[in-house]
Amino acid sequence: MAPPPLSARLPGLAGRRLMVRVARQRQSVARAGRGFGGKKEKAQPSTDAEGSSDVAFGGAEPLEERLPPQEPSVPDEVVDRALTRMLTFSGIPFGAGLLFFPAFWYLKVVKHVDVPTWVVYAVSSLFVGVSLAGISYGLLSTSGTPSQKSFLGVDDFKKNVGNLTKRK
């Protein structure tokens, strides 16, 4: 005689949840491919006489080859300035581009001005493009030193673009 189904062994909501979970697992196993080649075996870490492993906490690098932690090379003030400029020079154009959608709706519905669809696409594409350029400008207009003289960073932008484009 066959054993009773899972729902009979676990009555109520818990039984139904378990059945759904088991069914999903069976479906995912059935859909999973076998991949290419055979099953690869993991290399077991070697242990010394004391039983300590040469691999740190399941990582693949031996302890001797790990580099010591270093201080970040970019000061926090520089990172904050770059993020502020990127958000400013990309967020303002992007927000302005989003405000044009209600403006075009207002012109069309309330004022009955027939605005061609391509104008809406062109204006939104223009503002998204300016927003993407603002991300690049925000990053390139930041110098690597914590003390910076200009607010907009035009001089640093010119210097950084010159450094990127010069040939070695």
Q: Is pLDDT above 60 for 118?
A: yes
pLDDT at 71: 73
Its pTM surpasses 0.95 = no
Q: Find out whether 5 and 23 touch, Cβ atoms under 8 Å.
A: no
β-strand partners of 55: 62
Q: What's the token pair of residue 137?
A: 């400008």
pLDDT at 69: 75
> How do residues 92-111 score in pLDDT, each as one tens digit?
999 999 999 999 999 999 99
In this structure, how many other beta carbons lie within 10 angstroms of the beta carbon of residue 56?
Answer: 12
Q: Find out whether 111 and 156 touch, Cβ atoms under 8 Å.
A: no
75: CB partners within 8 A, 6+ apart? 146
